[in-house]
């Protein structure tokens, strides 16, 4: 898999925005916080069970921490390099299928 390390100014800006968002302080990954549109819901449905379990654990832990108004210890924060964008291939697949359905509906 290609490295997700940011390159150049745009990469540094992405890293800054990723860190500034604050979800990493709760141990969340970027795809954990996506709004659940029909496309995202279908991609989540296609995930392997162990990935869904890991995602649910991160979300429940983040909710608990948020209610307690605390963050994880700094050594447990998610880093930019650790975020693996686990939904990306599923999202792309679902989006291709939706586009194909729309194309067939136009004919």
- Supply the pTM of this predicted model: 0.83
Over the chain, what HEC string results? CCCCCCCHHHHHHHHHHHHHHCHHHHCCCHHHHCCCCHHHHHHHHHCCHHHHHHHHHHHHHHHHHHHHCCCCCHHHCCCCCCCCCCCHHHHHHHHHHHHHHHHHHHC
Domain topology for 8-106: Cytochrome Bc1 Complex; Chain F (1.10.1090)
Residue 1: per-residue pLDDT: 45
**Structure confidence by residue, pLDDT tens digits, 52-77:** 999 999 999 999 999 999 999 999 99
Residue 26: per-residue pLDDT: 97
Residue ranges for the chain with pLDDT beneath 70: 1-6
Residue 7: per-residue pLDDT: 73
Residue 51: per-residue pLDDT: 96
Domain boundaries, the chain: 8-106
């Amino acid at each position: 898999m290609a490295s997700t390390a940011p390159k150049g100014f745009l990469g540094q800006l992405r890293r800054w925005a990723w860190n500034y968002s604050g979800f990493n302080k709760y141990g969340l990954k970027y795809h954990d916080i996506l709004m659940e549109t029909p496309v995202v819901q279908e991609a989540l449905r296609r995930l392997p069970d162990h990935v869904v379990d890991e995602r649910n654990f991160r979300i429940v832990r983040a909710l608990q921490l948020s209610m307690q108004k605390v963050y994880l210890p700094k050594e447990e924060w998610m880093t930019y390099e650790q975020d693996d964008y686990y939904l990306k291939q599923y999202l792309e697949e679902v989006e291709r299928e939706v586009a194909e359905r729309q194309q067939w509906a136009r004919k």
